[in-house]
């Protein structure tokens, strides 16, 4: 049966409809277990999700477990808007999970917000998910054929149903059976009865860490969320590992089949907060090193190095230090400008871009400027950025990118365009340079990226080299 699901999944046609010119954040998950039944963990979840807000701004939710009875509160909007003081004060429970969402599978709206909960005959469960299942449609079809009625359009609901159906075999067995069936990238936090559970996919594509504060345990997408609640990072959850936290402590289980680490390298480049630790490595230092290597690979004579806020700044500092060219703040980001791609007309979208990033003329006027960005997707934002710098008085604009050219679509929870919309899949570096209007253009090499991230083969780099860790749907070029 598992092979039938995979065969169906390979024929899926997954579409990405986001029209912005950057990769978009995935989702963030958070979980907490307190052995003190009097503890109210809602505040922990609130602060944890607030720290993970960069991973998803569409909706937020939490499920609080009070002696096996789970109350879910979720809605569209930011964490601070969804969870009012009244909601946090009224919440009761010593176990809980939370989620912030950026949609990659399924539409938006409150119905698709997470966590999802299921009432069963003998228990109540809730589950939240970061990632993407590539065989979601096949799983959904199978479950619908067996009588399941879906309430949402997200792949998380298929996982909840598969997990719930298998519970008659026992908690660990039900998770292991689910992992055999589902295919893709995922980090899960689950609460059922008196347990907090964490599950990471067999390749470790999506991040998940475990932390501790006193007797309380935490699960989170990034270690910055542990910092927000005063917890200490214990370690990363291993690929394929099942973490079960209960009153007797922490139990860990593996999968029945082969697992191997292929963590998403774009977490290091862009998605994770720079103050997070991932796979035992500082995200800031990885980006800083990428900038230093980029300077070695693509030196140029210039007067100032600037970074594109926020993810381009550590690489820009590294580039400046390695090259000896002074670092300066050349672009000011308005963090309250909203997302430009939702504007209804091109004129308004362009105005939105100017609101987002404004040149600091005192830094760039009459200067040869090296500008560092984390990636180029379609090229439209890069072109506007070059124009912005020239309008601000830059004498020359040397564009440097702290990652290799993005040539392939991600299928594992990062919202990327179809391959035909990725500029690097169709154009050479010189053609891209001409399109964006830069004086020079250079990308970090794949070898340089591997070195900055810590080396080895423990990363998925499919968006750069097209080598996926598993079979994926074939998209039209």
What would the DSSP string read from start to end of 263-327? EETHIIIIIS-TT-EETTEEHHHHHHHHHHHHHHHS----SEEEE-TTTTHHHHHHHHHHH-PPB
Structure token digits, residue 178: 């689910």
* Burial of 456 (C-beta count, 10 Å sphere; 0-12/13-18/19+): exposed
**Of the CATH numbers 3.40.718.10, 3.40.50.300, 3.10.450.50, 3.60.20.10, which one belongs to the domain with range 24-261?**
3.60.20.10
Q: Judge whether 264 is annotated as a binding position.
A: yes
pLDDT reported for residue 414: 73
Q: Cα–Cα distance between 155 and 393 in angstroms, integer?
A: 49
What CATH topology corresponds to 282-332+341-455? Answer: Rossmann fold (3.40.50)
Q: Is 460 annotated as a binding residue?
A: yes
For residue 82, the surrounding DSSP H or E stretch is helix 79-82
Cα angle: 389, vertex 392, 393; to 5 degrees: 95
Burial 150-186 (b: 16+ CB within 10 A, else e): eebbbbbbbbbbbbbbbbeeebeebbbbbbbbbbbbb
Is 439 assigned a ligand-binding role in the annotation? no
The pLDDT assigned to 6 comes to 32
The pLDDT value given to residue 465: 93
Instruction: Please indicate if the annotation marks 366 as binding a ligand.
Output: no
| pLDDT at residue 8, as a whole number | 34
Domain boundaries defined on the chain: 24-261, 282-332+341-455
| 303 in a labelled binding site | no
The predicted pLDDT at position 16 comes to: 29
**Could you read off the pLDDT tens digit of each residue along the chain, which spans 477 residues?**
333 333 333 333 333 233 445 555 569 999 999 999 888 999 999 999 999 999 999 999 999 999 999 999 999 999 999 999 999 999 999 999 999 998 655 556 788 899 999 888 778 999 999 999 999 889 999 999 988 888 888 888 999 999 988 888 999 999 999 999 999 999 999 999 899 999 999 999 999 999 999 999 999 999 999 999 999 999 999 999 999 999 999 999 987 676 788 999 989 988 899 999 999 999 999 999 999 999 999 999 999 999 999 889 999 999 999 999 999 999 998 876 544 433 445 455 455 556 688 999 999 999 999 999 999 988 988 999 999 999 999 999 999 999 999 999 888 877 665 787 899 999 999 999 999 999 999 999 999 999 999 877 789 999 999 999 988 876 555
**Per-residue pLDDT at 353:** 57
Number of Cβ within a 10 Å radius of residue 302: 23
* Residues labelled catalytic: 27
- What is the predicted pLDDT for the residue at 351? 56
């Amino acid at each position: 049966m598992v092979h039938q699901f995979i065969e169906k999944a390979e024929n899926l046609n997954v579409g990405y409809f986001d029209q912005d010119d950057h990769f978009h954040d995935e989702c963030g998950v958070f979980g907490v277990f307190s052995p003190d039944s009097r503890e109210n963990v809602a505040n922990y979840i609130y602060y944890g999700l607030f720290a993970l807000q960069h991973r998803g701004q569409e909706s937020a939710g939490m499920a609080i477990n009070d002696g096996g009875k789970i109350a879910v509160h979720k809605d569209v909007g930011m964490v601070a808007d969804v969870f009012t003081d009244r909601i946090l004060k009224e919440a009761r429970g010593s176990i809980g999970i939370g989620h912030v969402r950026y949609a990659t599978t399924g539409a938006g709206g409150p119905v698709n917000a997470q966590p999802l909960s299921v009432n069963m005959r003998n228990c109540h469960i809730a589950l939240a998910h970061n990632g993407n299942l590539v065989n979601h449609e096949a799983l959904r079809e199978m479950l619908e054929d067996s009588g399941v009625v879906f309430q949402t359009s997200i792949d998380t609901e298929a996982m909840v149903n598969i997990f719930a159906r298998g519970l008659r075999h026992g908690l660990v067995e039900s998770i292991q059976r689910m992992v055999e069936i589902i295919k893709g990238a995922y980090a899960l936090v689950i609460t059922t009865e008196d347990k907090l559970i964490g599950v990471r996919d067999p390749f470790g594509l999506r991040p998940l860490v475990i932390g501790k504060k006193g007797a309380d345990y935490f699960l989170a997408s990034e270690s910055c969320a542990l910092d927000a609640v005063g917890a200490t990072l214990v370690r990363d959850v291993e690929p394929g590992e099942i973490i079960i936290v209960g009153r007797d402590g922490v139990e860990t289980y593996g999968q029945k089949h082969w697992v191997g680490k292929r963590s998403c390298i774009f977490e290091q480049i862009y998605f994770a907060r720079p103050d997070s630790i991932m796979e035992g490595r500082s995200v800031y230092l990885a980006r800083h090193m990428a900038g230093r290597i980029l300077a070695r690979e693509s030196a140029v004579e210039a007067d100032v190095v600037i970074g594109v806020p926020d993810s381009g700044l550590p690489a820009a500092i590294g580039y400046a230090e390695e090259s000896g060219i002074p670092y300066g703040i050349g672009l000011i980001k308005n963090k309250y400008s909203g997302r430009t791609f939702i504007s209804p007309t091109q004129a308004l979208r362009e105005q939105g871009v100017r609101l987002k990033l404004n040149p600091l003329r005192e830094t760039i006027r009459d200067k040869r400027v090296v500008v560092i960005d984390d990636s180029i997707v379609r090229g439209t934002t890069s072109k506007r950025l070059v124009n912005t710098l020239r309008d601000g008085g830059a004498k020359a604009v040397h564009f440097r990118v702290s990652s290799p050219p993005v040539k392939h679509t991600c299928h594992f929870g990062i919202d990327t365009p179809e391959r035909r919309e990725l500029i690097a899949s169709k154009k050479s570096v010189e053609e891209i340079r001409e399109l964006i209007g830069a004086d020079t253009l250079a990308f970090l090499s794949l070898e340089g990226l591997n070195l900055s991230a810590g080396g080895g083969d423990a990363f998925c780099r499919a968006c750069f080299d097209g080598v996926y860790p598993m079979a994926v749907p074939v998209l039209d070029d």
